[in-house]
Chains A and B, each alone.
Chain A
């Protein structure tokens, strides 16, 4: 197949460069954030290890033709659904919670990998059904496909990841040609679901929403206190920040979960407006390069994979920053490439590898 040359000439070094900068910055930022906390000691080195492994994953994934994944799509999909199902049942029985595989050295969160698997599965499904996505039966089948995996994640319960996957499903539906009539119908459902769904949420989830809508300014603990401390961290950063390792909110631990969910605030405190805008700019650049790959992809499957990865990065980034800025209610979503978390980092870099695999195999212009 002469038009499917595998050429590393098209490898997107700009994308890799941007991701590298973000990953290295992540290690440095985690190092600053965990200073003085004994239980978190060594997290920076673990993150570094994951970044190194992740870059290996990028190279390997790039080398493998992404269409190979389509051929083993069923194995991947049912494997993941089965894994999550077993994990849920066993975990529930033994630990009462099923989010992690605990190993001797670190915890693996299969739901992070599930995001990539669902991208692959949905990309495969929509590429086969392109042009029929406005048929309610196709929409229903794609939703069923999604729920085969999401169900277990909802049950864990992990609302954040579930929403991410549903957003990926919707974004791929949109990219596959969802018409405005159906979009309007979804918008209608989108308004109704929260109203019906709210009573079904766990108490802590309800409280987060209530806290966001009606904050109690005198709270000393809990989500409101955490968000308030995040705002103090961000606001006190000013133009240039307090300097690396010198943010008082971070170093004196007033800012909570500063190595993961609130690492954006930690960064804003130590590097200020300028530094924060630079990092946001880098994230946008990464998203731009992924979308560019989606446009250049030689087939729909590859384009949808890229598009799914872009959605994954963009949505998590927007939600995380939005929470930090107190523009949306607290949700436990990490900031892509920056927040601490080995599974999330590996999955993201795996996604970047898929995008590279797509781009190096694109049609030569």
Chain B
């Protein structure tokens, strides 16, 4: 029986052992791998598991609101509704999906099928045009749990309907996005600015501060940019545990709530801002109609309180519509603004450096009186023109002669200080600045002109809370040597004495010089910020006027040794300083008052029952635009129109400046703007007073 193969086990033992050894061998390799994964590399895998499990949710905060001084809203946040689909939440059934697409398509007017998403025609949320099916397909293949935007900015009613029908529309949702809104739009755009996306260059900076680059926006211009860190607030954060579907299960650590940004109350009065802009625009339109051509098309009006430095109005015309930048910055609009020669994106009130012209004579006037270059009573001959020798250094043989002409072809005969200032006699101020024969043996000179200019606010950063603020230029011999490769000439001093030549200043700086005179010599730091408030309206930082200096008491005037000799100013510094005699300011005020009563502004201020003091300027310029139009004819350059004035003369509370680019004569073009603005100011003030004391 045993010979029967069926009844013996003929399987060789060694074959089973080999089989067993093979299994053991593989298992040993597996155990090695298991040990390596679970023990040696454990930390790395644990980190990956944690990364899977823990998700960071950034909670967006609310940007601060910007008010004007009367709590009128200049910038706020409004909700905007986007229709989104979460591809992973759509039903499994294709027919049900189609039905949802069909319903949504009807409600929001987006076709179901349109334009495949491709590299040539990529999906850009809110921008590109694709059908619902194409957008969902794109979302499903890239990140199925992340909502994709089907249509942005649907109206509130549609959003509410979709929200109500959410049960029947699985996967469809409404995303609420906070959008910046500027009720005053272009009227205040130059001051307020606008928001834009976080740029690649700043991404790291903002990421560290818990911003989300594709979601959060930051200030690009104006107050929005300058006060970015105050307005923005802090985003909140939740560390949560999520499952594979992205569903949030619980907080891993207690969440950090978002902190809303601070609100700002500006010094701007929207009513004055509105008045200033409409007066400026109307004046420009009228003059263009008068000339029958677009001769002038941009300008600036700034008004501030000389006692506090509070800017009440700041118009830079033309501006731009910042509401158009609220969602995205439209490329064509941005391009149009960038290519506009008037540069509407620049706040010209603080960012444009211009020849000041005769308004700069205030500096020469203060300097000449304080340095006793001339006495107020001294009578100076003011013929139509004077001829002086153009010297580039001392003791030059046979120097070239140069004519200096008064704007008044008839000249002014013989005039004293007040009349010289009131009539803005060029010859009078040439003589004060550069000296003239025996009449003014030693002029003020460029060094002393510079120190008085700086004392009145020129050539320095004015300290206003805006971005892109320029500080102008008060030249001196060293500057010219370096930048022009030429020595300072005596002619340069004459021309600088009337605010021409190398001197450039922003409209704000010109206004500050007038403001300092109006405020009896005290220069207040200009400000557009009145208060910082928290989100509940409590005042965090209240307004305190900030004095830069009082030139009648603070030693701000450099004393030079042999000031009118040729050569750099630094070498002549004695290191000592002095201040300005108070009577000097009074005399300059008198001259400005006289300009209104019996001088350059008399015609413009006829029948005005406000006591105003002012100064005009007709500044010659030759920039690239004038050059392109061949307007730069020697001796007959085009001119900008300037006028600055303050009121009431006895106790000034408002100082205003108007500037019109290529406006022509200062008094006739800028003068009426200043007059109308002052009338509007006192009218509004009377209304407020009446409202307060019925």
Query: Could you list which residues of chain A lie within 8 angstroms of chain B, going by C-beta atoms?
Result: 36, 127-128, 130-131, 171, 174-177, 229, 231-239, 248-249, 252-254, 268, 272-273, 276-277, 280, 284, 287-288, 291, 294-304, 307, 310-311, 314, 318, 321-322, 325, 327
Contact = CB atoms under 8 A, between A and B. Distances in A.
A300 B9 contact: yes
Nearest to B143: A220
B20 A175 contact: no
Given A131-B10, A236-B46, A248-B49, 11 more contacts: A36-B243, A175-B19, A232-B45, A232-B49, A234-B34, A237-B38, A248-B52, A249-B52, A295-B13, A301-B6, A327-B29
A294 B9 CA distance: 9
B30 A321 contact: yes
Contacts of A311: 19
Contacts of B44: 235
B53 interface: yes
A127 B6 CA distance: 7
Contacts of B20: 287-288, 291
Contacts of A236: 42, 45-46, 48-49
Contacts of A327: 29-30, 33
Contacts of A234: 34, 37-38, 45
Contact of B19 (A171, A249, A252, A321): A171
A291 B38 contact: no
A272 B38 contact: yes
The 7 closest A-B pairs by CB, nearest first: A235-B45, A236-B49, A252-B243, A303-B11, A253-B244, A273-B38, A235-B37
B136 to A, nearest CB: 17
B49 A307 contact: no
Interface in B463-496: none
Secondary structure call for the A interface: helix
Contacts of B397: none
A351 to B, nearest CB: 16
Contacts of A249: 49, 52
25 contacts: A171-B19, A175-B11, A232-B48, A233-B49, A235-B45, A236-B49, A238-B39, A238-B42, A238-B46, A248-B53, A254-B52, A280-B31, A284-B23, A291-B16, A294-B16, A295-B13, A295-B16, A298-B9, A299-B8, A299-B9, A304-B11, A307-B11, A310-B19, A311-B19, A318-B27
A237 B52 CA distance: 15
A197 to B, nearest CB: 23
Interface string B385-423: 000000000000000000000000000000000000000
B6 A299 contact: yes
Contact of B46 (A127, A235, A277, A304): A235
Nearest to B30: A321
A299 B7 CA distance: 5
B253 interface: no
B243 A253 contact: yes
B544 interface: no
- Counting chain B CB atoms within 10 Å of each CB, the highest count among A239, A297, A299, A307 belongs to A299
A130 B5 contact: yes
Contacts of B7: 298-299
A317 B8 CA distance: 31
Interface in B146-180: none
Contacts of B5: 127-128, 130, 300
Interface of B: 5-13, 15-16, 19-20, 23-24, 26-27, 29-31, 33-35, 37-39, 41-42, 44-46, 48-50, 52-53, 241-245, 249
B33 A325 contact: yes
A294 B630 CA distance: 111
Given A130-B5, A236-B48, A254-B52, A322 B37 contact: no
A231 B45 contact: yes
A297 B34 contact: no
A235 B11 CA distance: 42
A325 B10 contact: no
Nearest to A36: B243
A128 B6 CA distance: 8
Nearest to A322: B30
B48 A277 contact: no
Nearest to A126: B11
B26 A318 contact: yes
Contacts of A284: 23-24, 27
Contact of A287 (B23, B34, B35): B23
B244 A174 contact: no
B34 A232 contact: no
A239 B39 contact: yes
A297 B49 CA distance: 49
Contacts of A128: 5
B616 to A, nearest CB: 70
B34 A294 contact: no
A273 B39 contact: yes
Contacts of A248: 49-50, 52-53, 241
A70 to B, nearest CB: 9
A277 B26 contact: no
Nearest to A314: B23
A327 B42 CA distance: 18
Nearest to A67: B6
B6 A291 contact: no
Contacts of B50: 248
Contacts of A233: 49
B185 to A, nearest CB: 45
Contacts of A273: 34-35, 38-39
Nearest to A304: B11
B34 A277 contact: yes
B88 to A, nearest CB: 11
A277 B45 contact: no
Nearest to B18: A174
A227 B106 CA distance: 43
Given A177-B12, A273-B35, A252 B45 contact: no
Contacts of A301: 6
B15 A175 contact: yes
A174 B6 contact: no
B52 A252 contact: yes
Contacts of A239: 38-39
B34 A252 contact: no
Nearest to A297: B9
Nearest to B7: A299
A237 B30 CA distance: 16
A265 B284 CA distance: 80
Contacts of B41: 235
Contacts of A322: 26, 30
Nearest to A280: B27
A310 B44 CA distance: 37
Contacts of A300: 5-6, 8-11
A209 B15 CA distance: 32
A274 to B, nearest CB: 9
B42 A235 contact: yes
B48 A176 contact: no
A284 B37 CA distance: 21
A277 B10 CA distance: 35
Contacts of A174: 15, 19
A146 B353 CA distance: 95
A294 B11 contact: yes
A280 B27 CA distance: 8
Contacts of B42: 235-238
A174 B16 CA distance: 9
A176 B10 CA distance: 8
A322 B31 CA distance: 11
A287 B551 CA distance: 103
Contacts of B29: 327
A242 to B, nearest CB: 9
A157 to B, nearest CB: 25
A116 to B, nearest CB: 19
A253 B9 contact: no
Contacts of B12: 175, 177
B38 A235 contact: yes
A7 to B, nearest CB: 18
A174 B26 CA distance: 18
